[in-house]
Amino acid sequence: MLSLKNVCWMDASLPLLDDLSFDVAPGECIAIELADSRAVSVLIRLLTGEAALQTGSILVDGIPLKKLTPRLLQIYRRSIGVVLPMEKLLGNARIVDTIMLPLRAHRMRKNEILTRAKSLLTKLHMQEKESTLLQELPLDEQKCVALATALVADPQILLIGNKQNDWPDEKNAERMHMLVREAMQRGTSVIIATCTSERFASLHPRIISRNTEHNASRGTEEKSWKTTEKTRIIPIAL
């Protein structure tokens, strides 16, 4: 379970995050509406442990993120899939190789790695382009590859940082949302940091905005859940 408690972030005298608090359950999707792209970037960096908190706390299975040992921090980070911006992906690599890259940190057989990557490309209707260089794809298809790369290791947490005008057109977005829904059914928690939450309406996220929240799927009962070994991010044996 991942929790944020009273997180604030100031950029000079400008508050980018203001008393942000939420818990995210396994299989749940939440969308945090933020003022601008700077706030989106800050929240993603805080959740991955790349930036240190100014105030408030981030808890991983009840443990403050800042108190995780290097080994536990590595385990936590491996449990996260981040949809990276295009400039952080290898533009001169084949898209199938780009998708397979995160699995190199996992001890998997080469044929299983390739099978996973090709399965995601098939679901995106991009299987015939697997040998295409990433930089040769249209921008919206590059974003599809970025999502597939974030999901290929079957993460427990999926982080999507969506800045203004930074999400694909309707056709490609629906393909991407289909992959996200499948991940949620497997128990992946989805956190969307965005300036435009309406783009994600088909995922029925719980929307958090300026200390208020609501569920975009009206009439849907909130799922009950409890912490078990299967819902932990860090294995209890450690």
In angstroms, rounded to a whole number, what is the distance separating the alpha carbons of residues 90 and 105? 17
Query: Bridge-partner residues for 94, per DSSP?
Result: 133
Cα dist. 123→118, 180, 189, 225 in Å?
Answer: 9, 11, 20, 30
Q: Across residues 204-225, what is the average pLDDT?
A: 58
Reported as a single tens digit per residue, the pLDDT across 42-99 is 999 999 999 999 999 999 988 999 999 999 999 999 999 999 887 788 889 999 999 9
Angle value at C-alpha 16, between 78 and 80, nearest 5 degrees: 10
**Mean residue pLDDT across the chain:** 86
Query: Residue 222: its pLDDT value, please?
Result: 43
Contact in structure between 145 and 118 (CB atoms under 8 Å): no
Please provide the size of the chain in residues: 238
Sign of the alpha-carbon torsion through 194, 177, 232, 153: negative
pLDDT over threshold 60, residue 34: yes
pLDDT over threshold 90, residue 206: yes
- The pLDDT confidence band at residue 148, using thresholds 50, 70 and 90, is very high
Joined tokens for residue 13 = 């005298």
At the topology level, CATH places domain 2-217 in Rossmann fold (3.40.50)
Query: Residue 167: its pLDDT value, please?
Result: 75
Sheet of strand 29-33: strand arrangement: 80-83, 157-162, 189-194, 29-33, 206-209, 212-215
Contact in structure between 55 and 15 (CB atoms under 8 Å): no
pLDDT over threshold 50, residue 7: yes
Reported as a single tens digit per residue, the pLDDT across 157-201 is 999 998 766 677 777 889 999 999 999 999 999 999 998 888 899
Contact in structure between 48 and 82 (CB atoms under 8 Å): yes
* pTM for the structure as a whole: 0.87
Query: Residue 54: its pLDDT value, please?
Result: 93
